Amino acid sequence: LVVLDKPLDRSQLVAELRGPDAEKSGRARLQLITLGEAAVPAVTELLRSGTPAERITAANTLWGMGARAQAAVPELVEALADPDPTLRMAAAMALENMGGAAEAAVPALAKALGDREPGVRQAAVKALGAMGPAAHGALPALTRALRRGSWPEAQEAVRRIRGLEPGAAIELGPEEPEAP
């Protein structure tokens, strides 16, 4: 129960988020999401140092904050390189929900287009598409992905980045070299 005249204790909420009681954990997550920017440092610390399950919970909580979690972009970028594919996917999804506020993650998301896990690749391409023109730097990687085969999500991402209408034809242009 939240008392309105008493500030929420972020560390207590994170402890409840980590706890085994699913109901308490869920309530804590909603309260942390409601706190937004003020809760980002505590949730980001959990993303960095929690157990594998807690780290995924932290990424999902940051997803719920959307662009208000922008300060967590560097840690989410780190999570894109984690050995756990579920965490990598959760990090990409959190970045997707931030839209253009996660522009600093474009290089890491472009790299994630080559992830061995299809779910991670799909989440990365959706994140790039959600950024729109802010993800312009990922166009070469998206173009290479489209040249390798049909990928509707990548086509939609290219349209959004280029500011084209949904369903518009995509001109790939000349082949671009692989990044070093």
Cα torsion 151, 153, 159, 165 to 10°: value is 110
Please give the pLDDT value at position 180. 53
Question: Does 177 have pLDDT greater than 70?
Answer: no
pLDDT, tens digit (0-9, with 9 covering 90-100), for 106-155: 999 999 999 999 999 999 999 999 999 999 999 999 888 888 877 888 88
pLDDT, tens digit (0-9, with 9 covering 90-100), for 42-55: 999 999 999 999 99
Do residues 10 and 32 lie in contact, with contact meaning Cβ atoms separated by under 8 Å? yes
Least reliable range by pLDDT among 17-21, 76-80, 153-157, 172-176:
172-176
Q: Pick from 47, 91, 86: which is nearest to 18 by CA?
A: 47
